[in-house]
Amino acid sequence: MIFLGVALPQLSAAGIAFAFLVHRTVVGPHVHLEVGERVLARLGASAFTLCGILVLAAFERRGRGIVEARIGATYAAAGALTILFLAADPWGEAQMVNLLKGDLLATTEKSLTVLASVLGAVVIVLLAFQKEFLLVSFDRDLAVVFGKAAGLWDTVLYLVCGVTISFGVMTAGPLVTFGFLVAPPLTARLLTRHMMSFSVASAALGGVASFAGFYCAYRYDWPLGPAEVAVAVALLVAVGAAVRLWRAFGLRPT
């Protein structure tokens, strides 16, 4: 999942660059900050991310090759395509930089409304089908015995991840999206033993890192996105060190 968290934001970036290239080829150069720019970028990001997810899910369903190798190849291909698309469309480079740097403070009310609606739907799907997702993810053989379509549920889970990442990249940028996909869950994993407590702790740690990063960015005049990711990683390091100390003294975190 960590490798997937790296590859999907890069796929999303490639989709944005491709959408700008197609627009320039078919319609002409678009104007930066126009209303349709974010719509165009969202379409490209979502299309590439979801297509990539479906291809990866199809290969996993067939059981061919190593998962990490396929995801690594996807990341490399997406990175190369992003550069090639931008090289073919110099007009899109400036727009790409502005969209992907993740200027959270400049996010519009409309963008936040769209993001909240999409993530609300994602939460509903996760809660409605949590038993199927957990069974297929942690005991695939038992899921097959119970008659669950393991490949189908894998695809649905990947699609949920793809939608979340593609919209997250458009709002916060690849760095923040990847950082918060990885750092808070890794921190929560050190502290929890059950799936529900792990999910709650991940969300809570992400919230703490966000507000602490915002304070540091405001206090020291740092870029907001990198500051938040740095705080999330610092929290992971601090908790990891504390857990090692607890274990050294024969204690276990609850």
Q: What is the pLDDT of residues 142-178, one digit of tens each?
A: 888 888 887 788 888 878 887 888 787 777 777 888 8
Cβ atoms of residues 17 and 92 within 8 Å: yes
Give the other-Cβ count within 10 Å of 245's Cβ.
10
- Tens digit of pLDDT for each residue in 4-45? 767 877 888 888 888 888 887 887 766 555 556 677 778 888
Question: pTM for the whole thing?
Answer: 0.72
Confidence tier at 212 by pLDDT (50, 70, 90): very high
Average pLDDT over residues 89-117: 71
Structure tokens at 201: 């702790």
Cβ atoms of residues 182 and 4 within 8 Å: no
**CA distance readout (Å), 240 to 8, 181, 200:** 27, 17, 18
Return all residues near 36 (Cβ < 8 A) that are at least 6 apart. Answer: 30
- Tens digit of pLDDT for each residue in 221-240? 888 888 999 999 999 999 99
